[in-house]
Amino acid sequence: MEQTIQFYANAVLDPRPSVILMILAANAAVGVITETNAEKALEELRAYQADIATVLRNGCFSILPATDLVPGDIVEVSVGCKIPADMRMIEMLSNQLRVDQAILTGESCSVEKELDSTVATNAVYQDKTNILFSGTVVVAGRAKAVVVGVGANTAMGNIRDSMLRTEDEVTPLKKKLDEFGTFLAKVIAGICMLVWIVNIGHFRDPSHGGLLRGAIHYFKIAVALAVAAIPEGLPAVVTTCLALGTKRMARLNAIVRSLPSVETLGCTTVICSDKTGTLTTNMMSVSKICVFHSVHHGPVTAEYSISGTTYSPEGVVLDSAGIQLDFPAQLPCLLHIAMCSALCNESILQYNPDKGDYEKIGEATEVALRVLAEKVGLPGFNSMPSALNMLSKHERASYCNRYWENQFKKVALLDFSRDRKMMSVLCSRKQLEIMFSKGAPESIISRCTNILCNDDGSTVPLTANLRTELEARFRSFAETETLRCLALALKRMPMGQQTLSFNDEQDLTFIGLVGMLDPPREEVRNAMISCMTAGIRVIVVTGDNKSTAESVCRKIGAFDHLVDFSGHSYTASEFEELPALQQALALQRMALFTRVEPSHKRMLVEALQHQNEVVAMTGDGVNDAPALKKADIGIAMGSGTAVAKSASDMVLADDNFASIVAAIAEGRAIYNNTKQFIRYMISSNIGEVVCIFVAAMLGIPDTLAPVQLLWVNLVTDGLPATAIGFNKQDSDVMKVKPRKVNEAVVTGWLFFRYLVIGAYVGLATVAGFIWWFVYSDNGPKLPYGELMNFDTCSSRETTYPCSIFDDRHPSTVSMTVLVVVEMFNALNNLSENQSLLVIPPWSNLWLVASIVLTMVLHLLILYVQPLSILFSVTPLSWAEWTVVLYLSFPVIIIDEVLKFFSRNSCGTRFNFRFRRPDVLPKELRDK
């Protein structure tokens, strides 16, 4: 025993401290990287700041650095201009000014700005239609504005400050490991004190040379117990398991930026999902077309559906029965809709080879019309569909649009105005003058006197009945399906006309009605249903208006279980007006949160965390960054802004919401594996403690030499424990509710199981030692009393030589029993509760390989001469191996019995009791 103590006193010989130092260094590196990422997120916000601005100085406009702006400066902005500061509109230089502010508010459409100030109370950014926000982009028109905020006093500055105020949350696993570490430290300290106190009567034994020396001797034994009980390899194995998880998740297109967040996914209870760009594509797309089919026979109107949800010109036209039209451009109305969409348009659609995607320049609704023209195609070419597919992506982007622009010459333009709510363009082709118009349906329809029929291309008068039918279709598109609608029309103009006036926009011929939307991603529905099956609530968070967001949620289909959104859908203003108790209740039912700005998203995350929810926040815009950083796990889209990615814990490379489901399943599996190898390591270490403790209590010789104990710690603990991280997911991993935040990583029942298994491991090890001395045919067959009094052998007459206690066989048997029993115990940890009959050993070949490798290494030190001398072991006979197996295998049977009780919920009464989570705000609980 003194040799054992001396070995632990000379800890410098133990290579494990170097491993621990490496882990600490790795943790420090992760901390530095995390801080660097936070600074990087703030740095990347600068990418959304304008570099220059057209400013009025000394009575004339000049171009100056945007950083030189001060409040009160007059700035002129125009199409394509990035707003250099927060500014208030003072003069309109065109008929309208539209701004794309999706990066700030998440709105799917550009916003029309006006000079009048808002009358809304508690106005959010979306309501401030007379304010131009720094970093947003002008997509139509020109205007003058006065600077009202620069730097930190802008909306973007508020985002930066919010990110600076946000502290990183401690992950649930870290919290529970810290709690378990504290608990384990108390247990180990108690055992050490117990060993020291129990042996007080032996302090005066002559062999110790006095009371003080005896006290120090047993104090060293207590220290040896503590060293044996502490699972030094646990941090390394946890880190390895998390790293393995990140590798598997990378194959699922979920790129983990923060290692601990791998496990956090497993206990996520609420996902706050951004709508625009996350659940939807953030690309306006025409989805429906309504035209007059015929007024003479058959149905009066006809509807067509358009496939495709992005700016890619790949899509088809489907009739009302869902049958694809082979040559849609051969139908008169669809042909003229394509012409009008291409010619009455100021936007640009192009292919970006660097991003490998199609992108827009200009108004999103106009780009959607350009894409529609590409999908309709061109008339008169039987090979047209295949011919278009043979083009390069760069040529394909606007091939049909360029065709119409080459066929027609634009002569004059009437720009959009707020009072007319329409625009018109005069085009000339082969002595034919045609005016194409597009605009709000109510404006276009009121100016139409004729309609174009889709069956034969004839033009007939627009009667009152036809007008009523058309208005009903418009209301269905706009109200029922919440589509953004535009009406298209044309007019034959006098030959040679070169100008247009507002009076020309009368007596139009109606072509068709198009409905467009920011379409939901196709895979979202199944992904959200999977989340709900797993007990994870999804809250859609968006800056869009309430009706549009509710419509998208209905299209997703994940909220079909809600009869209506009453009590489940709130705007930010409505939520803030609720009393504290009502807010707490609303949070538990909320499914949709609309008209939000960045501060509201962060507030929502904090409120949910206050209710002990583990919150995952998805997003892609700059406006999402503070909430992504505050959430327990922030999930950014791969196509999102660099700011969002830098503030997040995980990035979805494929922008697929469904990847979150796979990542959550992986997170749950990682947590289960973490529990398994903690169980394995703790039960093994408890076995070593019991071995030393029982040997000391019985007064028998040291069962294991120091070098043998070190071998067991390093080899049998490390390899199988790491291999347990490769355990496959349980079949029901996504069919159970998320674990509670306050659930201990080691419950009372589980710790009881540790003790039972650990006690058997230790007792089996001691039993192997005693067996060799008392029962083995190759041993001395000593009476048990002689074994207990081995230390007095030299001072009394015996029938056996005292050198028998220096024989290497008993410690070899003990060491081999400890190794083999821990290998069997490793198989127990393929699943926490499932039997080995259900999950066989070969389900984890890595674990089988690690066990084989461990046994090969053990056989090497037993049978290879230099190693056997180094480890103080000797070869074992077949009879001794038989006893080793007899003593080791029962650990399987014992754990199978414990698993049976666990599956039948008999172990639940052993669980530690935790206080029920409070779901009400603290101020209400105090009342």
Average pLDDT over residues 749-769: 87
The CATH number for 79's domain is: 2.70.150.10
What's the confidence (pLDDT) of residue 161? 67
Q: Is 254 helix (H, G, I), strand (E, B) or coil?
A: strand
Q: Is residue 643 part of a domain?
A: yes
Q: Do 532 and 552 lie in a common domain?
A: yes
What's the confidence (pLDDT) of residue 749? 79
Q: Which of 605, 627, 655 is the last residue of a domain?
A: 655
Count up the domains in the chain and report the number. 5
pLDDT digits (tens, 9 = 90+) for 625-671: 788 888 888 888 776 666 777 778 888 877 777 778 778 887 788 77
Average pLDDT over residues 757-769: 90
Letter for the amino acid at 900? F
Q: Is residue 222 part of a domain?
A: no
Q: What angle do CA 41, 45, 50 make, to 5 degrees?
A: 165
Q: Which of 626, 655, 684 is the last residue of a domain?
A: 655
145 pLDDT tier (thresholds 50, 70, 90)? very high
Q: Do 651 and 673 lie in a common domain?
A: no
Q: What angle do CA 216, 221, 227 make, to 5 degrees?
A: 125
- In angstroms and rounded to an integer, the radius of gyration of the C-alpha atoms of the chain is 38
Q: For a pLDDT cut of 90, what percent of the chain falls above it?
A: 19
Q: Do 549 and 698 lie in a common domain?
A: no
Q: Do 272 and 292 lie in a common domain?
A: no
Q: Is residue 798 part of a domain?
A: yes
Residue 908 has pLDDT above 50, yes or no: no
In the block, tokens 């230790």 appear at: 762
What's the confidence (pLDDT) of residue 424? 94
How large is the greatest C-alpha to C-alpha distance in the chain, in angstroms?
A: 135
pLDDT digits (tens, 9 = 90+) for 49-87: 567 788 988 888 888 888 888 899 999 998 878 888 899
What global pTM score does this model have? 0.65
Task: Output the CA–CA distances (angstroms, integers) from residue 693 to 7, 188, 702, 755, 804, in the order listed.
Answer: 17, 12, 11, 14, 23
The DSSP secondary-structure symbol of 178 reads H
132 pLDDT tier (thresholds 50, 70, 90)? very high
The DSSP secondary structure of 157-207, one letter per residue, reads HHHHHHHHHPPPPPPHHHHHHHHHHHHHHHHHHHHHHHHHHHGGGGTT-GG
Residue 752 has pLDDT above 60, yes or no: yes
**Least trusted range by pLDDT, from 419-428, 635-644, 707-716, 902-911:** 902-911
206 pLDDT tier (thresholds 50, 70, 90)? low
> Dihedral, CA atoms, 339, 344, 346, 351, nearest 10 degrees?
-20
Q: Do 240 and 259 lie in a common domain?
A: no
Residue 351 has pLDDT above 70, yes or no: yes
Q: Is residue 924 part of a domain?
A: no
Average pLDDT over residues 96-123: 79
In the block, tokens 């779901």 appear at: 919
Quote the tokens at residue 158: 């508020």
Question: From the candidates 14, 274, 504, 649, which is the catalytic residue?
Answer: 274
Average pLDDT over residues 513-518: 90
Q: How far apart are CA 866 and CA 860, in angstroms?
A: 10
Q: Do 674 and 606 lie in a common domain?
A: no
* 734-748 as b/e: b if 16+ CB within 10 A: beeebbebeebbbbe
In the block, tokens 């699943």 appear at: 831
Quote the tokens at residue 305: 């559906």
pLDDT digits (tens, 9 = 90+) for 569-618: 898 888 988 998 899 899 988 989 988 877 788 889 989 988 888 898 88
Q: Is residue 734 part of a domain?
A: yes
What's the confidence (pLDDT) of residue 720? 83
Q: How far apart are CA 643 and CA 629, in angstroms?
A: 11
Query: In 10 A of CB 129, how many CB atoms?
Result: 17
Q: What angle do CA 341, 347, 350 make, to 5 degrees?
A: 100
Task: Output the CA–CA distances (angstroms, integers) from residue 425 to 291, 338, 411, 725, in the order listed.
Answer: 21, 14, 7, 66
- Asked if 496 and 426 count as a contact pair (C-beta separation under 8 A), the reply is no
**Least trusted range by pLDDT, from 136-140, 153-157, 199-203, 306-310:** 199-203
- Asked if 295 and 631 count as a contact pair (C-beta separation under 8 A), the reply is no
Q: Do 811 and 675 lie in a common domain?
A: yes
731 pLDDT tier (thresholds 50, 70, 90)? low
Residue 450 has pLDDT above 90, yes or no: yes
What's the confidence (pLDDT) of residue 622? 73
Phi/psi at 462 (5° precision): -90, 100
- Asked if 367 and 319 count as a contact pair (C-beta separation under 8 A), the reply is no
What's the confidence (pLDDT) of residue 911? 46
pLDDT digits (tens, 9 = 90+) for 481-509: 878 899 999 999 998 888 899 899 999 99
User: Which of 699, 661, 871 has its CA nearest to residue 787?
Assistant: 699
Q: How far apart are CA 655 and CA 309, in angstroms?
A: 14
Q: Please state, rounded to an integer, the average pLDDT across all residues of the chain.
A: 79
Q: Which of 125, 150, 175 is the last residue of a domain?
A: 150
Residue 280 has pLDDT above 50, yes or no: yes
Q: How far apart are CA 494 and CA 358, in angstroms?
A: 39
User: Which of 625, 650, 648 has its CA nearest to residue 37?
Assistant: 648
In the block, tokens 């849609």 appear at: 328
- Decide if 178 is catalytic: no
Q: Is residue 818 part of a domain?
A: yes
Average pLDDT over residues 345-355: 86
**Least trusted range by pLDDT, from 19-28, 252-261, 871-880, 883-892:** 19-28
> Per residue, what are the HEC states of 522-539?
CCHHHHHHHHHHCCCEEE
162 pLDDT tier (thresholds 50, 70, 90)? low
The CATH number for 864's domain is: 1.20.1110.10
The alpha carbon of 910 is separated from its chain's Cα centroid by a whole number of angstroms, namely 34
What's the confidence (pLDDT) of residue 660? 80
400 pLDDT tier (thresholds 50, 70, 90)? very high
- Phi/psi region, residue 421 (left: phi>0; alpha: psi -120 to 50; beta: rest), is left
Average pLDDT over residues 345-358: 86
Question: Residue 802's domain spans which residues?
Answer: 234-246+666-906
In the block, tokens 């496959």 appear at: 728
The secondary structure element, H or E, covering residue 489 is strand 484-493
Q: Is residue 44 part of a domain?
A: no
> Dihedral, CA atoms, 182, 184, 187, 193, nearest 10 degrees?
-80
Q: Which residue has the higher pLDDT, 725 or 720?
A: 720
What's the confidence (pLDDT) of residue 407? 92
Residue 713 has pLDDT above 80, yes or no: no
